[in-house]
Amino acid sequence: MTPTFKLAAAGLTLAALIGAAGCQRPAEPSGETASPSDAAPAAASADVYPFTVGALRLAALRDGELVVPIAESPWVEAGSPAAEVSGLLTAAGAPADAVHLSVQPLLVRDGDRVVLLDAGAGGQMGTANTLVASLRAAGVEPEQVTDVLISHAHGDHVGGLVNAQGALTFPKAVIRMSAPEWTAARAGAEKAGAGPLVAAIAPKVETFQPGAQATPSIRAVALDGHMPGHTGYEIVSGNERLLYFGDALHSSIISVQRPDLANVWDKDRAAAAATRRDLLNRGATEGLRYYGVHFPFPGLGRVERKGEAYVWVPEVAAPR
């Protein structure tokens, strides 16, 4: 892993995206497109997994994968022995030489709103930059996205907001994030002289306070510890609900089975560990349905207790 990748994998702020926001340019739209609400439901594929929450239609959209060598993983860099981290992966049947973290923003059709939860990495950090192609495979053009809800301003969540030329990938969308997160992002950008990206998205940014209703069916949920304004999103329709927990949990193995392990990517490690424990306890106790943006595609599942620990139980295996 090169030093540049190492910094990116450790959680780049918005500032660090200047000059590298999208290694590949999303394909240009071709002609008129049907309304997303009129489009036929997307078929499950290697890059798109459609599902429902009540009456809402959602789809997991693959953007790529982060592969972080064990020695440079956030747990080892925070002080955990590499052998301990590798042992957790081996016991779960996963490769032991690196941590594999999927990147899959979530599409939600909420009435006349076409919503993305996070915007992917835009080709950074070795990711495939397939978000726009996945979005189109789900029946939506970039111009049809009305809202992009950001969990936090690390590169693998905001890198896809602009293309290689610095233009907005979703030109008609409002970009929503918590007020503390936007304040932190702008402060970081100023320190790094990162005016161009901030200037590109600033006219589109609308902030909210924790607990705000971001769209008619999506509520912002404060999940403390990872970044100053890190936000999850609860999606509700009828009696069904789903929590998108952003980077409150990174690995479906390490973060779930050992929530106590410090993670160097977290700004406030103690608060982040407390958030992990709360999510796992509530998930197992209440049978909550979760969406993990970095969990194995399509990131949908629940948490169950196994003795005194927890395990991630995916709702479905990744389509092949």
Interval 259-293: pLDDT, tens: 999 999 999 999 999 999 999 999 999 999 999 99
Cis, bond preceding 74 (omega within 30 deg of 0): no
Percentage of the chain lying above the pLDDT 90 cut: 74
Q: Which of 20-34, 46-60, 271-285 has the lowest mean pLDDT?
A: 20-34
Average of per-residue pLDDT across 63-79: 97
* Torsional sign, CA 148, 150, 151, 156: positive
Q: Report DSSP state, residue 23.
A: S
- Secondary structure (3-state) at 87: helix
pLDDT in tens, 143-193: 999 999 999 999 899 989 999 888 999 999 999 999 999 998 888 776 654
Distance CA 109, CA 114 (A): 5
Q: How distant is the alpha carbon of residue 296 from its chain centre?
A: 12
- pLDDT recorded at residue 126: 86
Q: How distant is the alpha carbon of residue 160 from its chain centre?
A: 11
- pLDDT recorded at residue 107: 98
Distance CA 189, CA 150 (A): 17
Average of per-residue pLDDT across 308-318: 90
- pLDDT recorded at residue 8: 35
Closest to 215 (Cα-Cα) out of 166, 148, 265, 138:
148
Q: Model confidence at 319, in pLDDT bands (50, 70, 90)?
A: low
- pLDDT recorded at residue 13: 42
- In this structure, which amino acid lies at residue 86? S
Tell me if 151 sits within 8 A of 76, measured CB to CB: no
Tell me the pTM.
0.88
Distance CA 1, CA 69 (A): 8
Average of per-residue pLDDT across 216-243: 97
Produce one character per residue of 96-113: b if its CB has 16 or more CB atoms within 10 Å, e if not.
Answer: bebbbbbbbbbbbbbeeb
**Does 125 or 252 have the greater pLDDT score?**
252
Average of per-residue pLDDT across 98-114: 97
Name the region of 144 (left: φ>0; alpha: ψ -120 to 50; beta: rest).
Answer: alpha
Tell me if 170 sits within 8 A of 116, measured CB to CB: yes
The C-alpha angle with vertex 295 and arms to 174 and 217, in degrees rounded to 5, equals 35
Classify burial at 12, counting beta carbons within 10 Å of its beta carbon; exposed 0-12, middle 13-18, buried 19 or more.
buried
Mean pLDDT of the residues in the chain: 87
- In this structure, which amino acid lies at residue 181? E
Tell me if 29 sits within 8 A of 143, measured CB to CB: yes
Distance CA 151, CA 114 (A): 17
